[in-house]
Chains A and B, each alone.
Chain A
Amino acid sequence: MIELSHAYKTFPGPVHALRNVDLHIQKGEFVFLTGPSGAGKTTLFKILCGFEDVSSGKAQVAGFNLDQIKSSAKPLFRRKIGVVFQDFKLISDKTTLENVVLPLIIQGEKRKTALEKGEALLEKLGLIERRNLSPDVLSGGELQRIAIARALIHQPPLIMADEPTGNLDPERSEEIINLLENCTQKGTTVFVITHDHEMVRRRKKRVITIKNGEIVKDGRA
């Protein structure tokens, strides 16, 4: 699902954000990415989501060669992945349900069908009561679940989550990770950036540790 080979990312300065990163993630895997601040986690996340290009090396995600991808093909690639952003990136002018169904609408799904699918998913996540509310009035945990619902709605083969438990209490964090873990049962690959070492230890999943732009550890917790 994810293949990175000798990937480098250098920003003007020069700042070497990633150095010689090799990464292989299979379909259906659940992977945590950890590391100190400034280690290159976000840069790696952005490259895997297609928001940044690699400076050199090869990057293949969900069947797309990201080192050679044309800008016109990037939207098609982004539709293949579900992204959960640290700051949720929900639109205040739209209702919760409208936010959730946005990827389906973008992919050309009929509005009525999309809304039906959205309602079904919100029902599953226990958020159906909140469907007509603006994201502005929801709690942190609810916003996080809405963001996950938006990433799941179009059933992507890969879910990328940037600190999905960042501002949540332990109980809510467990709930969110359970939700993401359930996705792997259907063959979805889940890639999660986190700082929560305690939770990583408990889950006993594959953990990749990055430091100064290099992968320093890759194995089970």
Chain B
Amino acid sequence: MVVPKKWILMMMTTVVLSICMVFVLALYLGAKTVHQMTQEAQRNVKLEIFFKEDLGDGELRWIDSLKTKFEIQEISLVSKAQAQSLFVELMKADWGAMAEDEQLLKSLPSSAIIQFHDELKSETLNSVTQKVVNEANQFLNYDSYIFQKDWAQWLATYKKFISEISYGFGLFIALLIFLIVSNLNRSLIFQNLKEIEVYHLIGATDWQIARPFMIRAINIGLVSIVISMGLTVALRKLILLKANEIVPSEKIASLGMIEFFVIAALMILLCGLSAKICVKDQIK
């Protein structure tokens, strides 16, 4: 049995469209992952306050009061002894030898690590953090603090870069899809030039002529959406795997139903539109 050329072209269109759409969806998911990771990271702002001596009763009470005062969800206390032992363990692990510099061990500060896991925006968090730091100033042995938001800020810069690159690629791929789909649609339409001519000659309007081709193109778009979504679900697992290594969250890189329908509708519309343009071109 000989497969008609137009069926081969239709299959080719479906495959090419599916691959292009996987690219678009992967780009979208990648950009969204980075965006969500940044948001997640900005929520987990860590304030580390260093004390010159071991934490006294006053400091411990103050740290305890912070929980209720600023609705802080987690406060970890690291005493000087704990810090020293941790340092020694790290030295062992890294160099396989005991740290010899006693002076270095003695100079290690005690610290209180306060983590904000709330849903506050970063601006609000900054202000809360500042208030905590101001209060810490009442203690004489207060040494210094580190507001550990560096990597969140780094990720935010990365997000901007990724977004720009993604938008650029997204536009490029959208243009590419339009060109590829238009060309394949054109080939499909060339297979039916006689049909178009007959319809035109016996009084069909442009819309009547284009409609069957648009329906065919939309069907191709629908099948491509299903194929590409299947591939993207597999791809999403890979993205999630990598994303969870950095910021563990179940929410990361989910493709909501609304987003999916918007992307699907846009792609299908693109298919239909390209068919309409090609047919109109042929009628002229």
Contacts and interface: CB of A to CB of B under 8 A. Distances in A.
A103 interface: yes
A89 B199 contact: no
Interface in B187-204: 192, 194-195, 197-199, 201-204
Contact of A106 (B194, B197, B199): B199
B201 A106 contact: no
B254 to A, nearest CB: 45
A103 B208 CA distance: 12
A78 B199 CA distance: 10
B124 interface: no
A93 interface: yes
A91 B192 CA distance: 9
Contacts of A90: 198
Nearest to A89: B198
Interface residues of A, number: 19
A150 B204 CA distance: 14
Contacts of A93: 192, 195
Contact of B203 (A79, A85, A92): A79
Interface in A70-119: 75-79, 83, 85, 89-93, 102-103, 106-107
A89 B201 contact: yes
Interface string B191-227: 0101101110111110010000000000000000000
B184 to A, nearest CB: 19
Rank and list the top 6 A-B pairs by shortest CB-CB distance, nearest first.
A78-B203, A79-B203, A75-B205, A75-B203, A106-B204, A89-B198
Contacts of B201: 49, 51, 78, 83, 85, 89
B195 A76 contact: no
Interface of A: 49, 51, 75-79, 83, 85, 89-93, 102-103, 106-107, 150
B203 to A, nearest CB: 4
B198 A102 contact: yes
B197 A89 contact: yes
Nearest to A87: B194
A106 B208 contact: yes
A150 B202 contact: yes
Given A75-B203, A91-B195, A106-B202, 4 more contacts: A76-B203, A77-B203, A85-B201, A102-B202
A51 B198 CA distance: 12
Interface residues of B, number: 12
- Identify which of B194, B197, B201, B203 gathers the most chain A CB atoms within 10 Å of its CB: B203
Interface of B: 192, 194-195, 197-199, 201-205, 208
Contacts of A83: 201-202
A217 to B, nearest CB: 29
Contacts of B203: 75-79, 103, 106-107
Contacts of B205: 75
A92 B195 CA distance: 9
Contacts of A91: 194-195, 198
Which residue, A75, A78, A92, A93, has most C-beta atoms of chain B within 10 A? A75
B200 to A, nearest CB: 8
Nearest to B4: A93
Contacts of A150: 202
A103 B203 CA distance: 7
A106 B207 CA distance: 11
A136 to B, nearest CB: 12
Contacts of A78: 201-203
A74 to B, nearest CB: 8
A201 to B, nearest CB: 31
A43 to B, nearest CB: 16
A41 to B, nearest CB: 18
Contacts of A49: 201
A51 B199 CA distance: 13
A106 B208 CA distance: 8
A92 B194 CA distance: 9
B5 to A, nearest CB: 13
A45 to B, nearest CB: 12
A103 B204 CA distance: 8
A54 B192 CA distance: 29
Contacts of A77: 203
A89 B204 contact: no
A163 B192 CA distance: 25
30 contacts: A49-B201, A51-B201, A75-B203, A75-B204, A77-B203, A78-B201, A78-B202, A79-B202, A83-B201, A83-B202, A85-B201, A89-B194, A89-B197, A89-B198, A89-B201, A90-B198, A92-B194, A93-B192, A93-B195, A102-B199, A102-B202, A103-B202, A103-B203, A106-B199, A106-B202, A106-B203, A106-B204, A106-B208, A107-B203, A150-B202
